[in-house]
Structure 1
Amino acid sequence: MTGRTILVLNAGSSSIKFQLYDATAEGRLTRRFKGRLEGIGSARPRLLAWDGAGAVLEDRGFRPEEADEVEEAQAAIGGWLVGAMGGPPDAIGHRVVHGGADYTAPVLADAAVLAALEALSPLAPLHQPHNLAPIRSILRRRPELPQVACFDTAFHATMPDLARRFAIPEALHARGIRRYGFHGLSYEYIAGRLPEVAPEIARGRVIVAHLGSGCSACAMVDGRSVQSTMGFSALDGLPMGTRPGQLDAGVVLHLCRDGMGAAAIEHLLYHRCGLLGLSGISADVRELLASPAPGARLALDYFADRTAQAFGALAAAMGGLDGIVFTAGVGENAAPVRAMIAARCAWLGVVLDEARNAAHAPRISADGSRLPVHVIPTDEEGMVARHVVEVLRREGRWA
């Protein structure tokens, strides 16, 4: 393989993240630049980009109508990307939230794959349509350009059958109503980093907490997923920015009987619950930490309480626990939230070092803590880029 460029796109409902990598003949990756267009659908969409050394390359605002939807946002940043790349990339990798039961490894995206993935949109309505919009657009405009879809559900394909089950009739399980797990690209990256940054627990029983606007926790044994807090959809498990996490199904039935339609319930569960619903203020942990309002404290306490409960359940699933890792936006940057969770895990043997935690050190547990606690920045886009190289080599597209 001669030198190639790989563009990675991570398209969400309100932002598009991107990174450009140079790939050597040996498959080594170097990030040339990264950025994001944030505020899609808002009054102030903004493009931000940095080079590989962290220097600002672009900081530009757009008119609301230029980034009203993901496809418009694509067009808004497309010209800048082509100019910054010096030409089109050799391949594009995409983060796709849901691969269902059939896609348990990254694949080249063609029309048939796209159609199958679109059929999964009801399982992840907040993410899947936006993940697929760039694939569809590029397939239409540049069908010869290789695109690789990488799935957040794929890492959890190693979960045992028992962990995948709901207590429902077999016929429904056969129709795909099962636990899938999400945030798999993040967990896969962390699993790959553990032997280097925490070799003493890399092959052991580890809980990794991906805490951001979306949140989940994964139980790993020897770097493989054995259980996840997220299940059939991205609604389950831990409370999130605007999603409730674990919720009695009877609540949904009650709302239905009370006259609320499916679309209204979906909007409620995906957009009005979680930290936003509890606080009545914001879904942003930074704003909640800065607020003296009782609702803000309630939301943070609830979040820490349910996360600690989940840690206990995941430890039970593994028959013990050898370490904890925090990652993603909140997990990497919100020291007070980590401290609140850790305090509720004292019974597991967790003791934080306050200075290390405040400094976001790689290891934030005290020297005398029975369980080591680490903070490891995740890199979902870097994981996607690696998969692009692997898939194109396997398919004979890159010699």
Structure 2
Amino acid sequence: MNAAILSLNIGSSSIKLALFDAVTLEPILRGNVTDVGRDARASFTSHGQTTVSERPAAADIGEAVRWLLAEVRERHPEMRLAAVGHRVVHGGTRFDKPVRVDAEVLAELEALAVLAPAHQPAEIALIRNLQELLPDVPQIACFDTAFHRTQPKLSQWFALPRALSESGIVRIGFHGLSYEYIASVLPQIAVPHPYGKTVVAHLGHGASVCAMRNLRSVSTSMGFTPLDGLMMGTRCGTIDPGVLLHLQQQRGMSAQDVADLLGNRSGLLGVSGISDDVRVLEASGDPRAREALEMFAERAATAIAAQCVALEGLDALVFTGGIGEHAENTRKRIGERLRWLGIVLDDARNASDATRISSDAARVQVFVIPTDEETVIARAAARLLGSPSER
């Protein structure tokens, strides 16, 4: 019976799944479920072949995962799960590396859930669900925040009274599993071009940028929660704190109302009044859609430029994430705003599936690299299990 590691990466209405050989870490199967709670649809890819399964709408993430487990077992009846690895969005300052989940860890994750309400409660529920379904299989928590714990104190602290920073109210940073993957493959992709000073732009429904010096995080745009930084699909990103006070004190909004506004009704959706999906906005002729897309590019370019301060320059820019990998017009808008920085995109490359999309004469190299958080999760689980491939 073959031992395997299952990596799970859940969103608010989607699940990414990958199954790896526990010894070699070669991928066996990859899967994706979309539109959980509506018209759930799962696709699986194995050995280059993709199949699609459709079932009556899964009511929630837990039901969708049970469906996925059944599909995996049907396709690989010889498989024995050695571990399940989970992407956990918020690990605070406490968790700087993956850990095996026990009651104490779960309690700490629950205490942090209020800081990532769109993700963490579902992740905790999933872990509990799988502990019941698979009681003998270790559950491994891999934190989106851990990669940024290498940042210097000045990059992490806010200009608040020192006691608050010392109590843990600091810039935590997110999308760390994605950034860790990019850091692991960039040396092979970038050579012979320099990459010691790199900014990575993870642009998706959630979006952030990260400055890496010699592949280690030194600065990032997201802060104490995933609300901060760039404009996103439904999240506002950086905003004047006085606006929040005004909404509560003068407009009579409750804290929960403000949280819902900033996290679920702002960003691309709020500005356009149409959609949080870049593809829908690109296809729209509504001027509000154009304004939202231009604002998204403006905020992303500003954040990329700001990260160059921590690096004292820039060798390379990497686009990743769903928008970063697939939205050529968004990359073009961002690139045009950063020409002064030495970024010049080659239009033909940008419109193709090229990995390097900068022009040959550009001073800063620009790459599009698909991220793979599931592989990072599997590697972490293998290390904790003591896999020979990770010793």
Q: Above 0.5 in TM-score?
A: yes
Runs of 5+ in structure 1 lacking a partner? none
Match of 1:265 among 231, 234, 258: 258
State the one-letter code of the partner of 1:345: L
What is the rounded CA distance, in whole Å, between the counterparts of 2:74 and 2:104 in structure 1? 31
Residues 311-344 of structure 1, C-alpha deviations (whole Å, 9 max, x = no match)? 1110112111111010111111111110000000
What is the rounded CA distance, in whole Å, between the counterparts of 1:342 and 1:151 in structure 2? 31
Instruction: Name the residue aligned to 2:116.
Output: 124
Instruction: Name the residue aligned to 1:383.
Output: 376
The answer to whether residue 362 in structure 2 is matched with residue 369 in structure 1 is yes
Residues 227-273 of structure 1, C-alpha deviations (whole Å, 9 max, x = no match)? 00001000010111110111111111111112111211111111111
3-state SS, counterpart of residue 386 of structure 2: helix
Match of 1:295 among 270, 288, 308: 288
Per mean C-alpha deviation after superposition, the further-off stretch among 227-236 and 130-139 is: 130-139
3-state SS, counterpart of residue 181 of structure 1: coil
3-state SS, counterpart of residue 18 of structure 2: strand
State the one-letter code of the partner of 2:73: V
Displacement after TM superposition at 1:52 (Å): 3.2
Instruction: Name the residue aligned to 2:17.
Output: 18
Instruction: Name the residue aligned to 1:78.
Output: 69
Residues 263-307 of structure 1, C-alpha deviations (whole Å, 9 max, x = no match)? 111111111110011111111111111111101100110011111
What is the rounded CA distance, in whole Å, between the counterparts of 2:107 and 2:29 in structure 1? 31
What is the rounded CA distance, in whole Å, between the counterparts of 2:69 and 2:374 in structure 1? 18
3-state SS, counterpart of residue 5 of structure 2: strand
Match of 2:248 among 251, 256, 271: 256
TM-score (norm 1): 0.93
State the one-letter code of the partner of 1:7: L
State the one-letter code of the partner of 1:274: G
Instruction: Name the residue aligned to 1:57.
Output: 51
Instruction: Name the residue aligned to 2:6.
Output: 7
Instruction: Name the residue aligned to 1:145.
Output: 137
The answer to whether residue 43 in structure 2 is matched with residue 48 in structure 1 is yes
What is the rounded CA distance, in whole Å, between the counterparts of 1:295 and 1:181 in structure 2? 30
Q: Is the 8 A contact 1:202 1:223 kept in 2?
A: no
Q: Is the 8 A contact 1:34 1:52 kept in 2?
A: no
What is the rounded CA distance, in whole Å, between the counterparts of 1:338 and 1:316 in structure 2? 21
Instruction: Name the residue aligned to 1:101.
Output: 93
What is the rounded CA distance, in whole Å, between the counterparts of 1:299 and 1:233 in structure 2? 23
Q: Is the 8 A contact 2:204 2:322 kept in 1?
A: yes
Displacement after TM superposition at 1:41 (Å): 2.4
Runs of 5+ in structure 2 lacking a partner? none
Match of 2:213 among 208, 221, 243: 221
Q: Is the 8 A contact 2:4 2:20 kept in 1?
A: yes
Q: Is the 8 A contact 2:2 2:80 kept in 1?
A: no
Where do 1:317-356 residues align within 5 Å?
Answer: 317-356=310-349
3-state SS, counterpart of residue 192 of structure 1: helix
State the one-letter code of the partner of 1:29: L
Q: Is the 8 A contact 1:118 1:129 kept in 2?
A: yes
What is the rounded CA distance, in whole Å, between the counterparts of 1:88 and 1:261 in structure 2? 49
Displacement after TM superposition at 1:141 (Å): 3.5
What is the rounded CA distance, in whole Å, between the counterparts of 1:202 and 1:112 in structure 2? 43
Residues 11-35 of structure 1, C-alpha deviations (whole Å, 9 max, x = no match)? 22111111111133xxx22111111
Q: Is the 8 A contact 1:332 1:360 kept in 2?
A: no
Q: Percent identity over the alignment? A: 49
What is the rounded CA distance, in whole Å, between the counterparts of 1:3 and 1:75 in structure 2? 21
Q: Is the 8 A contact 2:98 2:142 kept in 1?
A: yes
State the one-letter code of the partner of 1:56: T
Instruction: Name the residue aligned to 1:39.
Output: 35
TM-score (norm 2): 0.95
State the one-letter code of the partner of 1:59: S
Q: Is the 8 A contact 1:191 1:202 kept in 2?
A: no
Per mean C-alpha deviation after superposition, the further-off stretch among 185-194 and 125-134 is: 125-134
The answer to whether residue 267 in structure 2 is matched with residue 237 in structure 1 is no
State the one-letter code of the partner of 2:70: G
Displacement after TM superposition at 1:203 (Å): 4.8
Instruction: Flag the 1:12–1:357 CA change in 2: closer, same or farther, 3 A.
Output: same
The answer to whether residue 283 in structure 2 is matched with residue 284 in structure 1 is no
Q: CA RMSD in A?
A: 1.8
Per mean C-alpha deviation after superposition, the further-off stretch among 246-255 and 86-95 is: 86-95
Query: Which aligned runs of 4 or more in structure 1 are off by greater than 6 angstroms?
Result: none
Q: Is the 8 A contact 2:349 2:358 kept in 1?
A: yes
3-state SS, counterpart of residue 226 of structure 2: coil
Residues 180-235 of structure 1, C-alpha deviations (whole Å, 9 max, x = no match)? 10000000000011110003456511000000111000000000000000010000
